[in-house]
Amino acid sequence: MKKNLLLVCMLLCGLSIFTACSDDDENKTEPEVPVLLKGTTVFKGESLNLVYSGTAMPGKEVTFSTEDGKTGSLKMVGTLDLSALIPSKADQSLSLAPGVIPGEVSTLIENIILTQDGDTYTFEGTDVNDAREISYSGKADSTSLKLDLTVKFPTNDLLGTWNLMQLEGTNYEKEPIYCAWDADEKFEIMFGPLPIKLTAIQLVSMGMRMPLIPAAADQKVSAEEMLCGILKDVTFKEDGNIVANYRNADNLTSEWITSPLNIAQYVVDGNGSLRLFLNPDIILANIKTKAGIADLPEGVLEGIIGKIVPMLSQGIPLKYGITEGGMKVYADTELMKTLFSVLMPILQDEKIMASLMQSIAQNPEMADFLPMIEGVFKSLPAVVESTTKIEIGLNFEK
C-alpha cells in the first residue's frame, strides 16, 4: 500500500513538471528585433548617393522613413543654400529648389517593401502616376543612402534632337535667333555722325547681324554667327533631361562637347508651353564672388530672390512652336517683362553704367560704337514701358 501511494505521488509530480514545461513553451515569445532606422532619417550631401539616369544628381535631399522595418517611404526634394547669394542667409531653402523629378518640388514614394540584410535595408520598385513612371532601387543604413532612379515621361512633341538653325540667305531667310518685339517708342541712337531712330526689332536685327565679335585676330563675326559656332544642337530626352552639343566660345574650331545629364531638365505642360529646370548647385558654383552680388543696386537682389529664384523650383516658363521640320523655343512677353523689371535698376544705376561705359571705351573693338550703345541704354526704359509684345528665343530644325 505504501509502495502504491509513493508511485502515485511520483506520477503526479512528473505530470506537474511536464505541465509546467508545456506552459513555459506556450508562453515563450520571440525576442523583439529592433527596427533599423525607425522613424525618419534625412540623407543629403556626402551621406546621399543619388543617381538619376545613371548620372549623379547633386543638390538634393532624401528622407527615408519606416516604423516596422518591413515597409517604408522616400521623400525627395531639392536644396538651395541662399548664403551663396545672401551671406546673411545661411539656411537652406527647400521650397525654392527644383525637386528630383522634373515638375515635382517634392516627390513621395510610399509602401516600399524593405528587405533587411544585416544593418542595411535594400529595396526596389516602381511608382507611377499620370505624369511619369519612376523605377527605383537602393539601399540604406545608418550612415548613407544609395538611390538609383530611372524616370520616363509620356511622349511629347519635343522629343529627339533639334539642330540649331543655321544662317541662310542674304536676306536672312533662316537664322538661329528668334525675336519679335513691338513697342510704341523707338530707340534714339547715334549711327556715325547722324542721330537716327530705330524700332525695337530693327535695332535687335542690326545688333544680331553686325560683325562685332572677334572670332580671330583678322576676323569679326556677328552674334548669330558666333552662336552657330558655339551651339550645335539640343536633345530633349524621355527622362526629362536636356543635353546639348556645344563648344567653348574661345575656341570655335574645337571638338563638340556634350553637356552632362541632370543640369537642365524640362516638362511639357501642353498648349505650346514647357518649363525649364536648372540645377542651382551648378549655377551657384559658377558665382565666383559674393561681393559683386552684395554691391548690386538697392532692390535688384530683392527682385532676383522674389522673381527669379522661385523659377528654379517652379520652372522657367517658356513657349514653343513646331512647324514642319522646325521649332522655336522662346521667352514670351510676360517672362521678358519680368526679367526687364529685375534688370532695369542695374541699367539705371549711375555707378554701374559709368563703369560699363568706361570698359567699352577702353576696348578697341567696341570704342567706336560707344555713342550708339549709350543711346540704346538711355532709350531702353521708355521702349520697355511701351512694349506690347516681346518674344526672344532660338530657332531649331530637324
What is the tens place of the pLDDT at every residue in 130-160?
999 999 999 999 999 999 999 999 999 999 9
331 shares a domain with 249: yes
Mean pLDDT score, 213-223: 74
241 shares a domain with 334: yes
Is residue 318 pLDDT above 90, yes or no?
yes
368 shares a domain with 239: yes
- In the chain, count H helices and then E strands: 10, 24
* Domain assignment of residue 87, yes or no: yes
Mean pLDDT score, 161-169: 93
Q: What is the pLDDT of residue 8?
A: 41
Contacts of 237 (CB under 8 A, 6+ apart): 53, 159, 243
Q: What is the pLDDT of residue 28?
A: 53
Q: What is the pLDDT of residue 218?
A: 66
Task: Give the model's confidence band at 221: pLDDT under 50 very low, under 70 low, under 90 confident, else very high.
Answer: confident
* Domain assignment of residue 143, yes or no: yes
176 shares a domain with 144: no
Higher per-residue pLDDT: 263 or 16:
263
Task: Give the model's confidence band at 385: pLDDT under 50 very low, under 70 low, under 90 confident, else very high.
Answer: very high
Report the DSSP pairing between strands 213-216 and 219-221. Answer: antiparallel
Q: Which of the listed residues 133, 152, 171 is the one where a domain comes to its end?
A: 152
* pTM of structure: 0.85
189 shares a domain with 219: yes
167 shares a domain with 119: no
Q: Which of 30-44, 177-191, 245-259, 286-300 has the lowest mean pLDDT?
A: 286-300
Mean pLDDT score, 71-97: 74
CA separation (Å) from 245 to 48, 95, 255?
A: 29, 31, 10
Task: Give the model's confidence band at 94: pLDDT under 50 very low, under 70 low, under 90 confident, else very high.
Answer: low
> Using one digit for the tens of pLDDT, what is the confidence trace for 367-376?
888 999 999 9
Q: Is 182 left (phi over 0), alpha (psi -120 to 50) or beta?
A: beta
* Domain assignment of residue 199, yes or no: yes
Cell numbers 583678322 correspond to 218
237 shares a domain with 168: yes
Q: Which of the listed residues 91, 121, 152 is the one where a domain comes to its end?
A: 152
> Using one digit for the tens of pLDDT, what is the confidence trace for 12-32?
444 444 444 444 555 555 555
Q: Which of 22-26, 55-59, 193-197, 298-302 has the lowest mean pLDDT?
A: 22-26
* Domain assignment of residue 21, yes or no: no
100 shares a domain with 200: no
* Domain assignment of residue 33, yes or no: no
User: Rg of the Cα trace of the chain?
Assistant: 32
| Coil, strand or helix at 144 | coil
212 shares a domain with 85: no
Q: Which of the listed residues 152, 171, 198 is the one where a domain comes to its end?
A: 152
* Domain assignment of residue 51, yes or no: yes
Higher per-residue pLDDT: 384 or 95:
384
Higher per-residue pLDDT: 253 or 19:
253
Higher per-residue pLDDT: 182 or 346:
182
Cell of 178: 528668334
* Domain assignment of residue 28, yes or no: no
Q: Determine how many CB atoms are found less than 10 A away from the CB of residue 108.
A: 13
* Domain assignment of residue 389, yes or no: yes
Q: What is the pLDDT of residue 299?
A: 66
Number of domains in the chain: 2
318 shares a domain with 371: yes
Is residue 106 pLDDT above 50, yes or no?
yes
Q: What is the pLDDT of residue 89?
A: 52
Mean pLDDT score, 107-129: 97
200 shares a domain with 301: yes
Q: Note the helical H segments in 233-390.
A: 280-285, 291-294, 300-303, 310-314, 333-347, 350-361, 370-385
Domain that holds residue 274: 160-397
Q: What is the pLDDT of residue 250?
A: 81
164 shares a domain with 144: no
Cell of 340: 526687364
| Coil, strand or helix at 129 | coil
Cell numbers 516604423 correspond to 67
Percentage of the chain beyond pLDDT 70 is 82
